[in-house]
Chain A
Amino acid sequence: MSDYTLETEAGRREALRRMLLIREFDTTAGERFNDGDIPGFVHLYIGEEAVGVGTCGALEPEDYVASTHRGHGHCISKGLDPELMMAELYGKADGYCNGKGGSMHIADVEAGMLGANGIVGAGPPLATGAALTIDYQDRDQVALAFGGDGSVAQGQVHEAVNLAATWDLPAIFVIENNQYGEATPVEKQHNVDNLSDTAGAYDIPGVTVDGMDVTAVYEAVSEARDRALAGDGPTLIEAETYRYRGHYEGDHEPYRDEAEIEQWRERDAIESFKERLIERGELTEAEFEEMQAEVEETIADAVAYAKDADLPDPEQAYDDMFGEPVPEIQQFASRPRADGGTEGGDPT
Chain B
Amino acid sequence: MSQQTAATQSLTLVQAVRDGLYCEMDRDDDVIVMGEDVGENGGVFRATQGLIDEFGDQRVIDTPLAEAGIVGTAIGMAAYGLRPVTEIQFMGFIYPAFDQIVSHAARLRTRSRGRFSCPLVVRAPYGGGIRAPEHHSESTEAFFVHQPGLKVAIPSTPHDTKGLLAAAIRDPDPVVFLEPKLIYRAFREDVPEDEYTVPLGEAAIRREGSDVSVFTWGAMTRPTLDAAENLAGDVDCEVVDLRTLSPLDEETIVESFEKTGRAVVVHEAPKTGGLAGEIIATIQEEVLLYQEAPVGRVTGFDVPFPLYALEDYYLPEAARIEDEIRETVEF
Contact = CB atoms under 8 A, between A and B. Distances in A.
B40 to A, nearest CB: 6
A151 interface: yes
A118 B134 contact: yes
Give the secondary structure class of A's interface.
loop
A329 B302 contact: yes
Interface stretch (A77-85, A97-105, A295-303): A97-105
Nearest to A93: B309
Interface stretch (B21-29, B59-67, B172-180, B194-202): B59-67
B136 interface: yes
Given A105-B133, A329-B302, A154 B313 contact: no
A183 B65 contact: no
A255 B167 CA distance: 33
Given A317-B301, A318-B301, A336-B323, A153 B308 contact: no
B320 interface: yes
A184 B133 contact: no
Interface string B16-60: 000000000000000000001101110010000000000000000
Nearest to B298: A338
A317 B68 contact: no
B8 interface: no
A102 B69 contact: no
Contacts, number: 128
A337 interface: yes
B131 A40 contact: yes
B92 A184 contact: no
A312 B309 contact: yes
A183 B310 contact: no
A104 B302 contact: no
Nearest to A158: B66
B307 A99 contact: yes
A314 interface: yes
A252 to B, nearest CB: 8
Interface string B288-331: 00000000000001111011111011101101100100000000
A39 interface: yes
Contacts of B68: 154-155
Interface in A305-342: 311-312, 314, 316-318, 321, 328-329, 332, 336-340
Interface string B132-148: 11111000000000000
Nearest to A105: B133
Contact of B36 (A101, A155, A184): A184
A254 interface: yes
Nearest to A316: B310
A321 to B, nearest CB: 6
B284 interface: no
B108 to A, nearest CB: 20
A211 interface: no
A170 to B, nearest CB: 26
A121 interface: yes
Given A184-B41, A340-B319, A154 B307 contact: no
Given A154-B65, A189-B64, A101 B320 contact: no
B41 A255 contact: yes
A61 interface: no
A190 interface: yes
A270 interface: no
Contacts of A104: 133, 135
Contacts of B272: 328
Given A104-B135, A155-B96, 14 more contacts: A39-B131, A40-B131, A93-B309, A101-B133, A151-B65, A154-B66, A155-B66, A184-B39, A188-B62, A189-B63, A317-B303, A317-B306, A338-B313, A338-B316
25 contacts: A40-B131, A91-B307, A92-B309, A102-B133, A118-B135, A119-B93, A119-B135, A121-B65, A153-B65, A153-B69, A155-B66, A155-B68, A155-B69, A181-B64, A182-B36, A184-B36, A184-B37, A189-B63, A311-B308, A311-B309, A321-B302, A338-B312, A338-B316, A338-B320, A340-B319
Interface of B: 36-37, 39-41, 44, 62-66, 68-69, 92-93, 96, 131-136, 271-272, 301-304, 306-310, 312-314, 316-317, 319-320, 323
Q: Which 3 residue pairs across A and B have the least CB separation, nearest first?
A: A91-B308, A118-B135, A153-B64
